[in-house]
A and B are shown apart, each in its own frame.
Chain A
Amino acid sequence: MTAMGSLILRTATRLLLPLLLLFSLFVLLRGHDEPGGGFIAGLVGATGFALYLFAFDAERTRSLMGVDPRLLLGLGLFAATVSGLPGTLLGHAFYTSLWWTPTLPLLGEVKLSTPLLFDIGVYLVVLGSVMTIVLALAGAEEKAEETTWNR
C-alpha cells in the first residue's frame, strides 16, 4: 500500500482533502432545500479520507481523522434516531418534522429543523461506516504485507 502513493498523488491529496471535506459540508447543508443531503455528503467526505489513505497509509489516515470511525457511526445513528423524538414530545407522530427559524446576528435567518439533525446523523453514519470498512480492508492488507516482508 505504501508503494501506491506517488509524489504527485500525495501533493494533490494534501490540496484536495480540505476541498473535499468543505464540499461535503456544503452538500450536506445545501440538501436542506436543494439537491444534496447527508448520504451523498457523507460519501464525498469519505472519498477525501479514502484518497488520503491511498496516498499515505491507514495509520496516518486514522490519526488524521482523530476519532475512531465507529464513534462517528454511533453518534450519527444516535442523532438520526433522536431527531424523531421532538415531534412526539409535541404530540405529533414519530419523525414529524419541526422547523425553527431564528435570526442570528451576522448570519441572518437560519433554518434549523429536525430533518437537519437527521441529515447530519446520516452524514456521520455514512462517513463512519465507509471509513470503518475501508480502514479495516486497508489495515488487513498492510498487515498481510508486513507478514510477507518479515518472512
Chain B
Amino acid sequence: MEPVMAVVVGILFAASIYMMLRRSIVKLVIGLILLSNAANLLIFTIGGMVRGLPPLIAEGDKLPAGGWADPLPQALILTAIVISFGVLAFAVVLIHRAYEVVQEDDLNKMRSTDT
C-alpha cells in the first residue's frame, strides 16, 4: 500500500505546485488546498499503514495483542485538517474580497506593492 500512497502524494504535490504557479488567484488557492491534503496524506503514510489493528488494549493486558495502528499520526492529521480548514476558509474570504477590491483575478496585475 505504501508505494501507491507515495505515488499519490507525489502526484498531489506536483499538481498543487503546478496550480500555485498559475497566475489566477483562484488556482493559487486550489493549489494550497491540494498541498495541505498532500501533506496530510504524507503524514498518514509515514505513520505506517496497517489494517484491522485498532490500538485498543484488552482488559488486563498491558499491550494490545498482535501489533496496533499508531493513533498519533491520525490525531496530528485531524489537528492539521482543522487548522487548514480554518486557514483556507480565510483564504477564500480573502481572494473574494481581493477580487472585489482589485477587480482582477490575475496575480501579474497585482503588483502595486512590489518593488
Contact = CB atoms under 8 A, between A and B. Distances in A.
A and B: direct contact (Cβ < 8 Å)?
yes
B23 interface: no
Interface in A115-151: 129-130, 133, 136-137, 140, 144
A39 B82 contact: yes
Interface string B69-106: 00000000000001000100110110011001000000
Contacts of A140: 96-97, 100
Dominant SS at the A interface? helix
Contacts of B93: 133, 136-137
Contacts of A129: 86
Interface residues of A, number: 8
Interface residues of B, number: 9
Nearest to A39: B82
Nearest to B86: A129
B94 to A, nearest CB: 11
Interface of A: 39, 129-130, 133, 136-137, 140, 144
Interface of B: 82, 86, 89-90, 92-93, 96-97, 100
Sorted nearest first, the 5 A-B pairs with minimum C-beta distance are A133-B89, A133-B93, A137-B93, A39-B82, A136-B93
14 contacts: A39-B82, A129-B86, A130-B89, A133-B89, A133-B90, A133-B93, A136-B93, A137-B92, A137-B93, A137-B96, A140-B96, A140-B97, A140-B100, A144-B100
